[in-house]
Structure 1
Amino acid sequence: MDAALDKKPASGGLEAEIANRRTFAIISHPDAGKTTLTEKILYFGGAIRLAGQVRARGERRRTQSDWMAIEQQRGISVTSSVMTFERDGVTFNLLDTPGHEDFSEDTYRTLTAVDSAVMVIDAAKGIEAQTLKLFEVCRLRDVPIITYINKVDREGRDPFELMDEISEKLALDVSPVTWPVGMGTQFKGCFNLRDNTFLKPSREGAGGFEEEIRVNGVMDPKVAELVGDETLLETFRSEADLATSACSPMDIEAYREGHLTPVFFGSALRDFCVSDLLDGLAAFAPPPRMQPAEPEPVDPAEEKVTAFVFKVQANMDPNHRDRIAFTRICSGRFKRGMRLNQIGTGKTMAIQAPIFFFAQDRDIAEEAYPGDILGIPNHGTLRVGDTLSERTDVKVTGLPRFAPEIMRRVRTGDPMKVKQVRRALHDLSEEGLAQVFKTRFGSDWIVGVVGALQLDVMADRIKAEYKVEIGFEASPYSAARWIHGPKDKVEEFIAKNSAQIGDDNDDSPVYLAKSAWELNYTAERWPDLTFGQTKELV
């Protein structure tokens, strides 16, 4: 059994276990190096013995976090996965999120389950569009950010220019922790400004770092020997002096409040500053935090267990048609076999076979603490947004569903397999991969997604997992909005517009508008109603 999965019952008390948890996500624009950094974090955390490469051949191409066939084929992450490992007495729960913008809703829900995030930035490109969007999501939830500026061993932008961009675009103070000694062809290693260690490359132009060498500051003569080039040495010393004097000093409170970001310059591919990043997460990142809930936030130190489902994944193991609810523990000490209330349904369920994750691999969880992510096998009982608790008076909040931006009609190739198609659409809609609306007038299924790539993934998964082929064709609708308002007005509206009413997976009524103009016109005609772009998951 992998060491990452060998989680024995802990001996510490609840508060000690909470203090030693770090639950974080990695966010980035596509191709910034997120998947490579994820693997190297697992490698330096002792969770895997060989760090694979996304673009390598054969088995090594199958990264630890990208387990779905389409992810392996395209070299992208399209679903969230969880990896748990321990390092130096700290339990890390790493939630790897989709990098592609077409899966931003899955990413948003994943970010509701973390206490901090690592933002990966390409040193040559700086802050890109998807990075900015994901950062804004983190800001909405007050998730503190550590920045990892990747690929400094390649030609890139000036380090100060990159930090100025972070400061200006994200309105964050920056506090550099590691600094590149040259970049691109002049790259000589990295320097940790906090503990005065020099990360020396194994050889010119190739390989990772050979060793960490402790020195007495940047002016130590040993640094001159390690750098070699006099001009580069002078530039590095000047930059390091300016970085420490002009930039903000590390302030853990300011970081955890979302005002400051520690910055690590490094190269995930060549192993530079990945271990430093892990040390930074252990030292700076907050332990499990209060979770938004009604009637009041859930305190991790509360003795009664409360948890919420932020993701459902069907068919992680297609041979067993499994359905796993990814569940974040918010408070209390969870023990296998506990009976928890499923808030909203009035039912209780015994959690007999909870699991810890390591991407697609898993192991039975005997117990878990706040910040831990459990997988709960179920057959449609649990849904995204569900709260599980020993209490009966609490509901975790803040998991919205967003109105789709692309609408397509489902086309089935074989009319004899309508039942399989219905089941597949229902399952994938509950996962959050897409939204499915059943029109009341006629018998169409309308699929709504954020980005076109979701349609490709949906068709690919239905073919692979349900053995049926589907296609998509133009839909007469361009927008879907949830209908809210006085019951009599909602019923009147639905009766008068039945040809453009559908039901979502929760049987909530949805107005299917044919154009933005029609949507605005309808909203003006029905001032007592609200046509919502979001819907709180219940």
Structure 2
Amino acid sequence: MTTLNLGILAHVDAGKTSLTERLLHAAGVIDEIGRVDDGNTQTDSLALERQRGITIKSAVVSFAVDDVTVNLIDTPGHPDFIAEVERVLSVLDGAVLVVSAVEGVQAQTRVLMRTLRRLRIPTLVFVNKIDRVGARHDGLLRDLAEKLAPATVPMGSVRRLGTRSAEFIPYGANDPVFSATGPLAERLAENDDALLAAYVDDPARLSYGRLRRELAAQTGRALTHPVFFGSAMSGAGVDTLIGGIRELLPATAGDEEGPVSGTVFKVERGTAGEKIAYVRMFSGTLRVRDRLPAGDDSEGKVTAISVFDDGSSVRGASVGAGRIGKLWGLGSVRIGDVIGDPDAAGAAGRHHFSPPTLATVVVPREGSDKGALHAALTQLAEQDPLINLRQDEIRQEISVSLYGEVQKEVIQATLADEYGVDVTFRETTTICVERLAGTGGAAEVMGKEPNPFLATVGLRVEPAPPGSGVDFRLEVELGSMPYAFMKAIEDTVRATLREGLYGWAVPDCAVVLTRTGYAPRQSHAHGTFDKSMSSTGGDFRLLTPLVLMEALKRAGTIVCEPMNHFRLDVPADTFGAVLPALARLRAVPHTPSAHGTSYVVEGEIPAAETHALEQLLPTLTSGEGVLETAFDHHRPVQGTPPTRSRTDHDPLNRKEYLLSVVRRVSTGAR
């Protein structure tokens, strides 16, 4: 039996979870369809999801379509939880993008489709809610082609649109759309030379069967996107969608005899607090009692496996290629870890969406809960690494990164409900970065003041393009000193760059190791190791921040704030009120364009001001304005650069740093 790992994606409230319920019911997995409003759906299992009626965590259910096992992954629709979607993308064979027939293409719909197309994930579009008043068909098809992807292909027509009896009628062999000279043949011919030749010279060769096969082939290569209409509530069109999933999306058999390779895309805690890893297997077979690297250079043993089958996960002895399994026993496993051969593990570890641009300090209401708060947030960070815990040991504070205010509310509720810790938050702030203004270098030599460590380190920092990351290079011979010391320098460089001259991370630069030196291992006459005469890894870990910060000071850094690209669609008669508001919020609008009775303007706005614009828009536009925003780039801050409190021992203050990291500092050698 082949397997299809299918993602269901949508803008919030498009009906994604309701569609999942209908698919499970149609497959015979559940006897009764749950409702989001009633809090009894299969995939929204968290109490908080049931209370709020939104999906917060991705969930996996399984059903069979003929000889294909479909592992369906329901993902959050709210943009604050885009990190959950990102982790799922790396394990998908195909996707269904749900669009509301009433609300149409929305901000998150665009973000998701752009990413699906960039990753070339085969995608079907399901237009939901055709039984709702205000549902659209022809106009929505135009919007899909203009705003999502030009290569959208309608797979049928709708009768009694906008009524409770609305139904979807799939196109057949006798419909003009599937004729040899119809729009489908023309669309498919754009991507296939042989088909184009037949379309021009001998249309009779383009039979209905050939067009269907070519449609499946091009959908599988993410060149076309078939569009189905229906209603998750009434079931209209769902059977046709299931047929499309079976026919048009590429199921995989996988090589169960090949090298073991898989990706961990979700981590959760069981009822006893044990860690459970969700893994998509790309190759080979993983068995109970197999030993695996566990994320921190240690090794873990798989103690139990569950695989998804017929709506739930069942215990098994193994999980093979193409399947999704739950693993127990890997205590140090992390999201994004690759199991086995990394070359066969898909898109694991790649970032498809922008990182969070907001941060806040989490404060327990009871001072005695500080320890419990740290433990709870550590577990939440296992499930969502992008919340990026930042511990300030000096102030005893913990901050987290965020995508938005809803995510903050969910973290607060989760801490209270699941961990019994009541918290508040400080004001949400914007996460800036530092970029190098130039090149700078520094070095300290052992035995020469003011260096108190048995180590020599020289570093040069150079600017690098945005998004390139930290590139650590050597200008010294690899064998000039033990590799462990060089590794200590590199690891410390990467850790130190999390806080630059102003306290913000320096994410993109080249760091060149220009000079090294060490004291070889020394022993007394009786053979015992003498630490005071020999270099240790600690010497290099403690000296490197001092050298690196001096190099940064000589290079200089520029604080940059995150900027969002915005697209604003407002009624023409409100545009005059919107423009001054954009100016107050430091937005830079481009030339607007008229679209019927509305104006569309795009531009840039600081991420820090986006939430304020969202709050102002309903009042300024009488509730008719539509705003889309997405992170675009970082821009140098105008005026005095904002600073962030340091959480390290502050290597910018040499005296205090040395007092913090060594018990006794003497002038010269120790």
TM-score category of the 2 structures, normalised to the smaller one: 0.7 to 0.9
TM-score by length of structure 1 reads 0.73
Preserved CA contact (<8 Å) 1:67 1:359: no
Provide the residue aligned with 2:183 in structure 1: 246
Choose from 169, 172, 182 the match for 1:191: 169
Could you tell me how far apart the structure 2 residues matched to 1:356 and 1:27 are? 23
Provide the residue aligned with 1:179 in structure 2: 157
With over 3 angstroms needed to count, the CA separation of the structure-2 counterparts of 1:243 and 1:464, relative to structure 1, is farther
Alignment root-mean-square deviation, CA: 3.8
Could you tell me how far apart the structure 2 residues matched to 1:259 and 1:392 are? 27
Could you tell me how far apart the structure 1 residues matched to 2:136 and 2:393 are? 58
Provide the residue aligned with 1:310 in structure 2: 265
Could you tell me how far apart the structure 1 residues matched to 2:10 and 2:500 are? 45
Preserved CA contact (<8 Å) 2:305 2:326: yes
Provide the residue aligned with 2:333 in structure 1: 382
Could you tell me how far apart the structure 1 residues matched to 2:495 and 2:418 are? 39
Preserved CA contact (<8 Å) 1:27 1:99: yes
Provide the residue aligned with 2:363 in structure 1: 411
CA deviation profile, 1:192-238 (whole Å, cap 9, x unmatched): 2137xxxxxxxxxxxxxxxxxxxxx67xxxxxxxxxxxxxxxxxxx9
Preserved CA contact (<8 Å) 1:477 1:512: no
Provide the residue aligned with 1:201 in structure 2: none
| Partner SS, residue 442 of structure 1 | coil
CA deviation profile, 1:233-286 (whole Å, cap 9, x unmatched): xxxxx9x79999334454122111211111111111101121221121111111
Could you tell me how far apart the structure 1 residues matched to 2:110 and 2:389 are? 28
Could you tell me how far apart the structure 2 residues matched to 1:188 and 1:416 are? 59
Choose from 270, 282, 290 the match for 1:330: 282
Provide the residue aligned with 1:286 in structure 2: 250
With over 3 angstroms needed to count, the CA separation of the structure-2 counterparts of 1:97 and 1:305, relative to structure 1, is same
Determine whether 1:30 maps to 2:12: yes
CA deviation profile, 1:300-327 (whole Å, cap 9, x unmatched): 5661221111121235x4xx22332111
With over 3 angstroms needed to count, the CA separation of the structure-2 counterparts of 1:470 and 1:63, relative to structure 1, is same
With over 3 angstroms needed to count, the CA separation of the structure-2 counterparts of 1:399 and 1:512, relative to structure 1, is farther
Provide the residue aligned with 1:321 in structure 2: 273
Could you tell me how far apart the structure 2 residues matched to 1:102 and 1:520 are? 23
- Please report how far the alpha carbon of residue 71 of structure 1 lies from its aligned counterpart in structure 2 after TM superposition: 0.7
With over 3 angstroms needed to count, the CA separation of the structure-2 counterparts of 1:485 and 1:359, relative to structure 1, is farther
Structure 2 counterparts to residues 41-440 of structure 1, below 5 A: 41-56=23-38, 61-156=39-134, 158-185=136-163, 187=165, 189-194=167-172, 245-247=182-184, 248=187, 250=212, 251-288=215-252, 300=255, 303-315=258-270, 317=271, 320-342=272-294, 345-357=296-308, 362-378=313-329, 380-389=331-340, 391=341, 397-400=347-350, 402-432=354-384, 434-439=387-392
- Please report how far the alpha carbon of residue 77 of structure 1 lies from its aligned counterpart in structure 2 after TM superposition: 0.6
With over 3 angstroms needed to count, the CA separation of the structure-2 counterparts of 1:129 and 1:352, relative to structure 1, is same
Q: Which amino acid aligns with 1:267?
A: S
Preserved CA contact (<8 Å) 2:364 2:422: yes
- Please report how far the alpha carbon of residue 116 of structure 1 lies from its aligned counterpart in structure 2 after TM superposition: 0.5
- Please report how far the alpha carbon of residue 90 of structure 1 lies from its aligned counterpart in structure 2 after TM superposition: 1.3
Determine whether 1:470 maps to 2:423: yes
- Please report how far the alpha carbon of residue 436 of structure 1 lies from its aligned counterpart in structure 2 after TM superposition: 1.3
Could you tell me how far apart the structure 2 residues matched to 1:123 and 1:358 are? 32
Segments of structure 2 that go 5 or more residues without pairing to the other structure are 188-210, 435-466, 473-489, 508-540, 546-556, 563-605, 609-633, 639-670
Per mean C-alpha deviation after superposition, the further-off stretch among 446-455 and 184-193 is 184-193
Q: Which amino acid aligns with 1:474?
A: E
With over 3 angstroms needed to count, the CA separation of the structure-2 counterparts of 1:341 and 1:395, relative to structure 1, is farther
Preserved CA contact (<8 Å) 2:293 2:299: yes
Could you tell me how far apart the structure 2 residues matched to 1:358 and 1:410 are? 40
Could you tell me how far apart the structure 2 residues matched to 1:134 and 1:160 are? 22
Could you tell me how far apart the structure 2 residues matched to 1:33 and 1:437 are? 36
- Please report how far the alpha carbon of residue 407 of structure 1 lies from its aligned counterpart in structure 2 after TM superposition: 0.8
Segments of structure 1 that go 5 or more residues without pairing to the other structure are 1-16, 196-216, 219-237, 290-298, 524-538
Could you tell me how far apart the structure 1 residues matched to 2:125 and 2:403 are? 27
Number of aligned residue pairs: 443
| Partner SS, residue 354 of structure 1 | strand
| Partner SS, residue 379 of structure 2 | helix
Preserved CA contact (<8 Å) 2:293 2:339: yes
Preserved CA contact (<8 Å) 2:133 2:162: yes
Provide the residue aligned with 2:451 in structure 1: none
Preserved CA contact (<8 Å) 2:300 2:329: no
- Please report how far the alpha carbon of residue 333 of structure 1 lies from its aligned counterpart in structure 2 after TM superposition: 2.9
Could you tell me how far apart the structure 2 residues matched to 1:367 and 1:185 are? 48
Structure 2 counterparts to residues 449-468 of structure 1, below 5 A: 449-468=402-421
| Partner SS, residue 4 of structure 2 | strand
Preserved CA contact (<8 Å) 2:280 2:324: yes
TM-score by length of structure 2 reads 0.59
| Partner SS, residue 273 of structure 2 | coil
- Please report how far the alpha carbon of residue 45 of structure 1 lies from its aligned counterpart in structure 2 after TM superposition: 1.3
With over 3 angstroms needed to count, the CA separation of the structure-2 counterparts of 1:37 and 1:182, relative to structure 1, is same
With over 3 angstroms needed to count, the CA separation of the structure-2 counterparts of 1:521 and 1:492, relative to structure 1, is farther
Preserved CA contact (<8 Å) 2:561 2:636: no
Could you tell me how far apart the structure 1 residues matched to 2:65 and 2:6 are? 15
Could you tell me how far apart the structure 1 residues matched to 2:503 and 2:143 are? 50
Could you tell me how far apart the structure 1 residues matched to 2:240 and 2:218 are? 20
Could you tell me how far apart the structure 2 residues matched to 1:456 and 1:359 are? 34
- Please report how far the alpha carbon of residue 465 of structure 1 lies from its aligned counterpart in structure 2 after TM superposition: 1.7
| Partner SS, residue 155 of structure 2 | strand
Of structures 1 and 2, the one scoring higher in RCO (CA 8 A, sep 6+) is: 1
Q: Which amino acid aligns with 2:240?
A: D
Could you tell me how far apart the structure 1 residues matched to 2:559 and 2:356 are? 12
Provide the residue aligned with 1:39 in structure 2: 21
Q: Which amino acid aligns with 1:321?
A: G
Preserved CA contact (<8 Å) 1:314 1:428: no
- Please report how far the alpha carbon of residue 444 of structure 1 lies from its aligned counterpart in structure 2 after TM superposition: 2.2
- Please report how far the alpha carbon of residue 364 of structure 1 lies from its aligned counterpart in structure 2 after TM superposition: 0.7
Preserved CA contact (<8 Å) 2:62 2:69: yes
Could you tell me how far apart the structure 2 residues matched to 1:490 and 1:520 are? 23
Could you tell me how far apart the structure 1 residues matched to 2:145 and 2:180 are? 14
Q: Which amino acid aligns with 2:224?
A: L
With over 3 angstroms needed to count, the CA separation of the structure-2 counterparts of 1:393 and 1:120, relative to structure 1, is closer
- Please report how far the alpha carbon of residue 98 of structure 1 lies from its aligned counterpart in structure 2 after TM superposition: 0.4
Per mean C-alpha deviation after superposition, the further-off stretch among 267-276 and 401-410 is 401-410
